[in-house]
Amino acid sequence: MKQYPYTDKKDTRSGFGAGMTELGRTNPDVVTLCADLVGSLKIDTFIQENPDRFFQCGISEANMIGVSAGLAITGKIPFATTFANFGSSRVFDQVRQAVAYSNKNVKIAVSHAGLTLGEDGATHQVLEDLAMMKALPNMTVINPCDYNQTKAATIASAAYEGPVYLRFGRPVIPVFIPEDMPFEIGKAITLNEGTDVSIFATGHLVWEALQACQMLEDEGISAEIINIHTIKPLDTEAILASVQKTGCCVSAEEHQVNGGLGESIAHTLITNYLAPQEFVGVKDTFGESGTPDELMTKYGLKAANIVEAAKKAIARKTK
């Protein structure tokens, strides 16, 4: 399989921070808002360099979304930043009416998504945000997989005209996506070509999928690894082309299986090309306190779970 060597481990939120630093220097229309989580969002440098283009909102996320929509009206490109739970479920109605329905150029950029938020527990571990956001017309939903891709996605979000939900996380993970790899919203990235099973992964599950790929190869199974960084609009062309070749697939995400990437893929398959699909995701349950690694293991989001799901999908293929 294609190798993705890494020399560094970083958190995806730092990729966001680096993207914001660059945008602060290159795009005078970019403004940032935050609801009392500046350190967690890694936007200190942007604020230091552009104090007039940062608005501290305090612990008032609903207001932050409305203020962002207003700034967008006047031609600014606001990035509203907080934890994923508070940028989605807490403010769903504000996002729905003032951003999505009103089609405002607001970027909702959120960290600490999913189980890997860790010890704070289920109150903060949002696993339903992709479902909510992908259900909104006009909303683009992006879930990048490492530091470099998050930085690239941040810069691409600013260049794109329209509402964006950009979701990233807290844990330090390998930086395996080459810095110069092109990033295009809505365009899936094939990380490894294979013939027996397609594995569609997003966010932190992409690195796990690459580990799974190696484990499958060791058992003589050829897996195609596709990085779906954009949940919506979904690259249905890439998905169908891959499944038509391999005949089955696995979806892998740090999200509820209800309403997540997997369901979007299932919708694509059932309306275009029937093939077995297995789902790696959280199975209709809330998380709990623990280390990110403990949680990913307990809730079945590790490479071993992807391997198991891949074998199951392959076994279900009709000859």
Partner 1 sequence: MNLQEIASQVRRDIVRMVHGVKSGHPGGSLGCTDLLVSLYFKHMDLKTDENGQVVFNMDGNGEDLFFLSNGHISPVLYSVLAHRGYFPPAELATFRKLDSRLQGHPATAEHLPGIRIASGSLGQGLSVAIGTALGKKLNGDSHLVYVLMGDGEQQEGQIWEAATFAPHHKVDNLIAFVDFNGQQIDGPTEKVMNNRDLGAKYEAFGWTVLHMDGNDYNSLDTVLSEAKGLTGQGKPIVVITKTEMGQGVDFMMHTHKWHGTAPNDEQLAKALAQLPETLGDY
Residues at the site binding partner 1, with contacts judged by CB under 8 A: 31, 52-53, 55, 57-58, 60, 62-76, 78, 93-94, 96-98, 101-104
Nearer to partner 1, 62 or 266 (CB): 62
Q: In angstroms, what CA-CA distances link 127 with 124, 184, 221, 303?
A: 9, 25, 31, 19
- Cα 268 to chain center, whole Å? 19
Q: How far is the CB of 70 from partner 1 (least distance, A)?
A: 2
Nearer to partner 1, 35 or 265 (CB): 35
Q: How far is the CB of 61 from partner 1 (least distance, A)?
A: 8
Nearer to partner 1, 72 or 310 (CB): 72
Nearer to partner 1, 102 or 211 (CB): 102
Q: How far is the CB of 21 from partner 1 (least distance, A)?
A: 19
Give the DSSP per-residue string, 132-193.
HHHTSTT-EEE---SHHHHHHHHHHHHHS-S-EEEE--SSEEE--S-TT----TT--EEEE-
Structure tokens given for 158: 């600013």
Q: How far is the CB of 111 from partner 1 (least distance, A)?
A: 21
Structure tokens given for 289: 């306190």
User: What DSSP element (H or E) covers 49?
Assistant: helix 44-49
Nearer to partner 1, 73 or 315 (CB): 73
Q: How far is the CB of 162 from partner 1 (least distance, A)?
A: 13
Tell me, what DSSP letter sits at residue 52?
A: G
Distance CA 153, CA 238 (A): 19
Q: How far is the CB of 12 from partner 1 (least distance, A)?
A: 27
Q: Is the peptide bond before 233 cis (omega within 30 degrees of 0)?
A: yes
8 Å CB contact between 245 and 196: no
Nearer to partner 1, 15 or 163 (CB): 163
